[in-house]
């Protein structure tokens, strides 16, 4: 994948003159300059760009640049095809191969120092003549901040460790230093108010990462005790400097747009969206008589862990850990009640009759305050946020599919399903036994304006996009098109700097209206279907629009395109009907890609920005699935969903599509999470939310997607 990144304020630049030659026979030599720019460095790594400026009078068509480091190495690149290894060669991607007179083209890279200092190499090759060289250097604020943080972090880490054995070392975790744990040998831990890593887990990282001597690196360490203090960290920018030094996490900040290639930009620089969902403020919709559901309240409105786990985990700890893995963006689902500080469903500690389940270190009086604190803390950690209106009500839940949803809802007749919520409605109903929590277009647009105003209200510039409504499966395209365009107008009235994220629809509505989706060989998930867009495009400026399909594999729903062609009797069957028929599941990339192309991929080819807002699954499904799936699909070889996930990632890399993994949290019944232990009532007898280290196979897949 050719990913992209943003430049931080301030640069180190070494000016190198380049002669650019036009591609093709008889081309005249061109006058050009090139800057090798170190845009950010953190001791063990850096990001850099090469900016090529055509100073001639005719266009340059095609370019390549070569360079060699003494010790450094390239770990990621964007806007060029980079090949080789000392020397490296970067060539254009076609779309950026032509440089008009006076125009500048740039490409970038992420660099591992590999035990040495950050280098500024000489550029060579057919297009690099070295003509007219010059140099300059200036200290960046981010580098200065990083150096300062590094000093305090190193002192903190070394002082909390003994002078002998493994405990006197740190762990270089993909460019960020953490202390090794004293009390555990594997996984991630929490000691002395900071994240730590077990020696075995650290040692499993690929070269050049792993255990290092505590004094051997000047890397800014996210293990600084100041940066990871639980409740205090959310109120101080100094306390959250840790993750901003991550090699894969650019600083948050500014004006978000989509460029002509469909890349998301931040302050004019391309931004690589490396995203996962962090759910909890939108609701889990537990049955009213659940043992842990005091007063019949839905089990929602928490951030971090569920309160009864009592693990001691804090939001800062998780932000430290996921940014070190590469996350720079969080999709944060909310419910309308989240925005109202006076809503009875968003007030108080559940142990005192309320519904908020935040860990005591981050507990707030209401859900709105929890939301605001989370956004501010993400901003302090260099994390951008996508705010998603996930449902019409925390009573009804996301399965409602529309703003004014009324019963019966999807899953109303689903076997062994406890969360039907048929006693609640978002629209008016003639049933005195149904509680109405009214929602409609007018209230929704007010909420969108409220969210759009949070940037100014909170003094943050990390709200990248607003995902206007989750999985609107109960709309025709004409209905959803009108609502989406109205949503854009409402947001634009308040905030001109954020992007609007629009999801697709489904194949039919609850009223029986069929929605075109292309071939019957492939059935789109809720939120995946953009097939009708071709004939009726959204009237939203392309520079402000992100298209966001959702797609899932068999661990969420076994669809017709997963059926084994060697079993013709299974053609067209889905889910439990297919399971009862003993159907085998086959992941066929060709068949899946044809469906993705038809549902949304064709729009990426047209230059639309695209983030798959949800994808994910259990790594060992059906063996690690909830009982109803584990039993029904016991005849299927475990790991089939991970095959599907990797097939999707291959497609995303090919199409240059970004995505938000569902989910960070390990509590999702359908997908598990990026943390162990996933929801598994067999091996996880104590319930949800153990957070026992990482699902490493998933992280490896994501780093492949991100080009890390």
- Note if 471 is an active site residue: yes
Q: Across the strands, what pairs with 387?
A: 332, 466
Task: Of 605, 547, 539, 496, give the one whose Cα is nearest residue 257.
Answer: 496
Given the residues 119, 286, 372, 471, select the one marked as catalytic.
471
Q: What angle do CA 478, 609, 500 make, to 5 degrees?
A: 60
Given the residues 106, 226, 614, 676, select the one marked as catalytic.
614
Encoding tokens for residue 219?
């890397």
Task: Of 708, 620, 651, 565, give the one whose Cα is nearest residue 74.
Answer: 708
Name, in order, each residue with C-beta under 8 angstroms of 654's C-beta and a sequence gap of 6 or more: none
- Note if 614 is an active site residue: yes
Whether the CA torsion 340, 343, 347, 350 is positive or negative: it is: negative
Size (the chain), residues = 708
Query: What is the spatial order of strands in the sheet that 73-78 belongs to?
Result: 12-21, 29-41, 45-54, 104-112, 73-78
Cis bond upstream, residue 599 (ω within 30): no
CA–CA gap between residue 551 and residue 616 (Å, rounded): 8
**What is the residue whose two structure tokens read 């762990």?**
171
At residue 168, the 3 state secondary structure works out as helix
Long-range contacts of 311-315 (CB under 8 A, 24+ apart): 311/359, 311/689, 311/690, 311/691, 312/190, 312/359, 313/190, 313/359, 313/691, 314/190, 314/228, 314/230, 314/231, 314/233, 314/359, 314/361, 314/362, 315/233, 315/234, 315/359, 315/361, 315/362, 315/374, 315/377
* Beta-sheet strands, E only, within 68-116: 73-78, 81-84, 88-91, 98-99, 104-112
Task: Of 203, 91, 208, 226, give the one whose Cα is nearest residue 155.
Answer: 226
**Contact indicator for 594, 522 with CB cutoff of 8 Å:** yes
Pairing type for strands 545-547 and 264-266 reads: unpaired
Residues recognised as catalytic: 471, 614
């Amino acid at each position: 994948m050719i990913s992209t990144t943003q430049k931080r304020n301030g640069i180190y630049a070494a000016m190198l003159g380049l002669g650019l030659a036009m591609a093709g026979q008889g081309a005249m030599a061109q006058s050009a300059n090139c800057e090798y720019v170190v845009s950010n460095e953190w001791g063990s790594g850096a990001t850099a760009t090469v900016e090529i400026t055509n100073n001639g009078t005719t266009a340059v068509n095609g370019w390549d640049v070569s360079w060699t480091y003494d010790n450094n190495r390239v770990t990621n690149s964007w806007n060029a095809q980079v090949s080789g290894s000392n020397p490296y060669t970067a060539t254009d991607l076609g779309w950026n191969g032509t440089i008009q007179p006076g125009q500048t083209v740039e490409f970038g890279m992420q660099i591992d120092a590999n035990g040495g200092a950050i280098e500024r190499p000489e550029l060579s090759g057919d297009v690099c003549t070295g003509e007219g060289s010059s140099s300059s250097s200036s200290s960046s604020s981010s580098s200065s901040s990083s150096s300062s943080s590094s000093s305090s972090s190193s002192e903190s880490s070394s002082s909390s460790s003994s002078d002998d054995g493994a405990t006197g070392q740190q762990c270089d975790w993909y460019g960020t230093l953490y202390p090794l744990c004293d009390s555990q040998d594997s996984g991630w831990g929490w000691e002395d108010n900071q994240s730590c890593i077990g020696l075995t887990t650290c040692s499993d990282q690929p070269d050049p990462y792993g255990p290092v001597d505590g004094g051997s690196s000047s890397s800014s360490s996210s293990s600084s005790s100041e940066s990871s203090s639980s409740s205090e960290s959310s109120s101080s920018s100094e306390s959250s400097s840790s993750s901003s030094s991550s090699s894969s996490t650019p600083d948050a900040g500014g004006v978000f747009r989509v460029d002509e290639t469909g890349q998301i930009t931040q302050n004019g620089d391309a931004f690589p969206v490396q995203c996962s969902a962090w759910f909890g403020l939108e609701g889990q919709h537990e049955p009213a008589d659940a043992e842990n559901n005091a007063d019949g309240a839905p089990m929602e409105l928490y951030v971090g862990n569920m309160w009864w786990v009592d693990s001691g985990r804090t939001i800062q700890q998780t932000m430290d850990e996921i940014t070190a893995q590469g996350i720079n963006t969080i999709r944060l689902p909310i419910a309308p009640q989240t925005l109202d500080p006076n809503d009875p469903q968003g007030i108080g500690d559940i142990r005192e009759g309320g519904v908020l389940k935040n860990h005591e270190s981050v507990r707030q009086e209401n859900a709105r305050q929890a939301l605001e604190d989370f956004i501010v803390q993400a901003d302090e950690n260099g994390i951008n946020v996508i705010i998603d209106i996930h449902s019409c009500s925390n009573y009804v839940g996301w399965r409602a599919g529309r703003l004014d949803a009324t019963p019966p809802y999807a899953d109303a007749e689903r076997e062994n399903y406890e969360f039907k919520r048929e006693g609640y409605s978002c629209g008016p109903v003639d049933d005195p036994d149904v509680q109405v929590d009214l929602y409609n277009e007018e209230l929704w647009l007010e909420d969108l304006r409220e969210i759009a105003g949070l940037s100014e209200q909170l003094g943050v510039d990390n709200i990248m996009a607003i995902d206007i409504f989750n999985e609107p499966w109960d709309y025709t395209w004409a209905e959803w098109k009108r609502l989406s365009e109205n949503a854009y107008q409402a947001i634009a009235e308040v905030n001109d700097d954020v992007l609007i994220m629009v999801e697709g629809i489904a194949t039919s509505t609850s009223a029986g209206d069929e929605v075109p989706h292309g071939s019957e060989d492939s059935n789109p998930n809720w939120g995946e279907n953009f097939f009708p867009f071709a004939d009726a495009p959204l009237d939203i400026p392309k520079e402000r629009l992100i298209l966001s399909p959702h797609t899932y594999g068999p661990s969420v729903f076994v669809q017709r395109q997963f059926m084994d062609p060697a079993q013709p009797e299974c053609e067209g069957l889905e889910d439990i009907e297919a399971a009862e028929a003993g159907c085998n599941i086959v992941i066929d990339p060709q068949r899946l890609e044809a469906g993705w192309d038809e549902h949304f991929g064709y729009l990426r080819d047209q230059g639309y920005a695209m983030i798959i807002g949800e994808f994910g699954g259990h790594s060992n499904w059906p063996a690690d699935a909830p009982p109803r799936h584990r039993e029904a699909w016991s005849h299927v070889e475990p790991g089939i969903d991970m095959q599907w996930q990797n097939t999707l990632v291959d497609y995303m890399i090919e199409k240059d599509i970004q995505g938000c993994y569902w989910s960070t949290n390990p509590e999702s019944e359908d997908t598990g999470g990026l943390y162990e232990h996933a929801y598994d009532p067999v091996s996880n007898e104590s319930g949800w939310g153990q957070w026992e280290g990482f699902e490493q196979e998933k992280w490896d897949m994501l780093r492949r997607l991100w080009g890390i």
